[in-house]
Structure 1
Amino acid sequence: MLSEAKKKSQKSDLKYETSTKLPTLKTIKTKWDLGRYYYKNDKDPQIEKDIKATETALNSFAKKYRGGAWLKNSTSVVKAVKEFLSLDSLPGDRPLYYFSYRRELDASDVVAERLLNKFSDRLTKAGNEVLFFPLQLAKLPKALQKELLTIDATAPFRFFLKDVFEDAKYQLSEPEEKILSLKALTSRGLWVSGTEKILNKKTIEWKGKPMPIHGALMQFEQLGAKERHQMWGKVKTVLESIGEVAENELVALALDKKTNDELRGYQKPYSGTTRSYDSTDRTLETLVPVITGRGYELSRRFFAIKKKALGRELTYIDRNESVGSEPKIPFETAVAICRDTFYDFNPEYGKFFDEMLAGGNIDVWSKEGKGGGAFCSSGVDRPTMVFLNHNDSLESLRTLAHEMGHAIHSLRSKSQPTWYQDYSTLTAETASTFFESLAIERLLEQSSSREQVAILSGMIGDRIGTMIMCIARFQFELEMHETIRREGGMTWQEMSAALARHFAAYTGPAVKTSDEHGLIVLSKPHYRMNFYQYSYSFGEIGSSIMRARCKEDVEYREKVDHFLSQGGSGSVEDIFKSVGIDMSKASTFNQGLDLLEADIARFEKLVAKKD
Structure 2
Amino acid sequence: MKWLPLLLALSLVPGAAPASVGAANDPHVLPTLSIPRRNSMNHVPKRSETAPESRWKLEDLFGDQAAWDKEYAEAKAQIKQIADYQGKLADVSQLKACFELEDELSLHVERLYVYANMKHHEDTAEPTYQALSDKSKKLSVESGEALSFITPEVLGLSDEQLDAIIKDESVAKFRHTLEEMRRQKAHVLSKSEEALLAQVGNVSSAPGTIFGMLNNADLKFPKVKNEDGEEVELSHGRYIQFLESKNRDVRREAFLAMYDTYGKLKNTLASTLNANVTKNIFYAKARKYDSVLGMSLYGDNIPKEVYTNLIDTIHKHLPLMHRYMELRKKLLGLDELHMYDLFAPLVEEFKMDITYEEAKKTVADSLKPLGEDYLKVLQEGFEDGWIDVYENEGKRSGAYSWGAFGTHPYVLLNHKDNLNSMFTLTHEMGHALHSYYSDTNQNYRDAQYTIFLAEVASTLNEALLMDYLLGKSTDPKEKMYLLTYYADQFRTTVFRQTMFAEFEKIVHERAEQGESLTPQELSKIYYDLNVQYYGTGMVVDKDIEMEWARIPHFYNSFYVYKYATGFSAATSFSKQILEEGQPAVDRYLGFLKSGGSDFSINILKKAGVDMSSPEPIEQAMSVFEELIGQMEQLTN
TM score, norm. by length of structure 2: 0.72
Alpha carbons 1:326, 1:394 under 8 Å: kept? no
Instruction: Indicate the residue corresponding to 1:413 in structure 2.
Output: 438
Matched letter for residue 89 of structure 1: L
Within 1, Cα distance between the matches of 2:359 and 2:391? 18
Instruction: Indicate the residue corresponding to 2:599 in structure 1.
Output: 571
Instruction: Indicate the residue corresponding to 1:67 in structure 2.
Output: 87
Deviates more, 1:179-188 or 1:384-393: 384-393
Deviation string 1:106-143 (CA, Å, 9 cap, x unpaired) is: 99x9x989x97x99798657634433321232354444
1:281 pairs, out of 304, 310, 314, with 304
Alpha carbons 2:55, 2:388 under 8 Å: kept? no
SS in 1 for 2:109: coil
After TM superposition, the structure 1 = structure 2 runs for residues 37-436 of structure 1, keeping only pairs within 5 Å, are 57-61=78-82, 63-68=83-88, 70-72=89-91, 74-91=92-109, 127-177=144-194, 180=197, 184=201, 187-188=204-205, 190-191=209-210, 194=213, 198=217, 213=235, 215-226=237-248, 227-232=250-255, 250-292=273-315, 294-312=316-334, 313-329=336-352, 332-333=354-355, 336-337=358-359, 340-342=362-364, 344-345=366-367, 346-347=374-375, 348-352=377-381, 358-359=387-388, 398=423, 401-415=426-440, 416-436=442-462
Deviation string 1:390-444 (CA, Å, 9 cap, x unpaired) is: 9987667655544443344334333332222322222112223212222222322
Relative distance call for 1:94 and 1:446 in structure 2 (3 A) is same
Instruction: Indicate the residue corresponding to 1:557 in structure 2.
Output: 585
Matched letter for residue 435 of structure 2: S
Matched letter for residue 349 of structure 1: L
Q: CA deviation at 1:547?
A: 0.7
Residue 589 (structure 1) aligned with residue 608 (structure 2): no
Instruction: Indicate the residue corresponding to 1:474 in structure 2.
Output: 501
Within 1, Cα distance between the matches of 2:101 and 2:299? 23
2:626 pairs, out of 587, 598, 604, with 598
Relative distance call for 1:569 and 1:358 in structure 2 (3 A) is closer
Within 1, Cα distance between the matches of 2:481 and 2:295? 40
SS in 2 for 1:297: helix
SS in 2 for 1:423: coil
Matched letter for residue 217 of structure 2: I
2:538 pairs, out of 501, 506, 511, with 511
Within 2, Cα distance between the matches of 1:48 and 1:318? 55
Instruction: Indicate the residue corresponding to 1:18 in structure 2.
Output: none
Within 2, Cα distance between the matches of 1:307 and 1:344? 32
Deviates more, 1:397-406 or 1:550-559: 397-406
Within 2, Cα distance between the matches of 1:316 and 1:289? 24
SS in 2 for 1:511: coil
Within 2, Cα distance between the matches of 1:421 and 1:212? 45
Within 2, Cα distance between the matches of 1:245 and 1:93? 44
Within 2, Cα distance between the matches of 1:201 and 1:56? 51
Instruction: Indicate the residue corresponding to 2:479 in structure 1.
Output: 452
Alpha carbons 2:386, 2:411 under 8 Å: kept? no
Within 1, Cα distance between the matches of 2:518 and 2:412? 32
Within 1, Cα distance between the matches of 2:501 and 2:293? 10
Within 2, Cα distance between the matches of 1:34 and 1:422? 21
Residue 440 (structure 1) aligned with residue 458 (structure 2): no
Relative distance call for 1:52 and 1:36 in structure 2 (3 A) is same
Alpha carbons 2:401, 2:431 under 8 Å: kept? yes
Alpha carbons 2:277, 2:511 under 8 Å: kept? yes
Within 1, Cα distance between the matches of 2:185 and 2:142? 22
Alpha carbons 1:55, 1:123 under 8 Å: kept? no
Alpha carbons 1:366, 1:390 under 8 Å: kept? no
Relative distance call for 1:119 and 1:581 in structure 2 (3 A) is closer
Deviates more, 1:410-419 or 1:46-55: 46-55
SS in 1 for 2:317: helix
Within 2, Cα distance between the matches of 1:366 and 1:523? 30
Within 2, Cα distance between the matches of 1:50 and 1:257? 41
Within 2, Cα distance between the matches of 1:288 and 1:340? 36
Alpha-carbon RMSD across the aligned residues, in angstroms, is 5.0
Alpha carbons 2:120, 2:130 under 8 Å: kept? yes
Relative distance call for 1:589 and 1:432 in structure 2 (3 A) is same
Within 2, Cα distance between the matches of 1:82 and 1:449? 59
Within 2, Cα distance between the matches of 1:451 and 1:351? 31
Deviates more, 1:380-389 or 1:158-167: 380-389
Alpha carbons 1:132, 1:174 under 8 Å: kept? no
Within 1, Cα distance between the matches of 2:363 and 2:265? 41
Q: CA deviation at 1:92?
A: 7.2
Within 1, Cα distance between the matches of 2:444 and 2:470? 39
After TM superposition, the structure 1 = structure 2 runs for residues 521-560 of structure 1, keeping only pairs within 5 Å, are 521-555=548-582, 556-560=584-588
Alpha carbons 2:79, 2:143 under 8 Å: kept? yes
Deviation string 1:285-325 (CA, Å, 9 cap, x unpaired) is: 33321222x13232222222332343312122322445433
Percent identical pairs in the alignment equals 21
Within 2, Cα distance between the matches of 1:427 and 1:200? 35
TM score, norm. by length of structure 1: 0.75
Matched letter for residue 341 of structure 2: D
SS in 2 for 1:565: helix
Within 2, Cα distance between the matches of 1:459 and 1:144? 53
Alpha carbons 1:250, 1:528 under 8 Å: kept? yes
Structure 1, unpaired ranges of 5+? 1-12, 14-25
Relative distance call for 1:481 and 1:98 in structure 2 (3 A) is farther
Q: CA deviation at 1:473?
A: 0.7
Matched letter for residue 490 of structure 2: R
Within 2, Cα distance between the matches of 1:171 and 1:325? 57
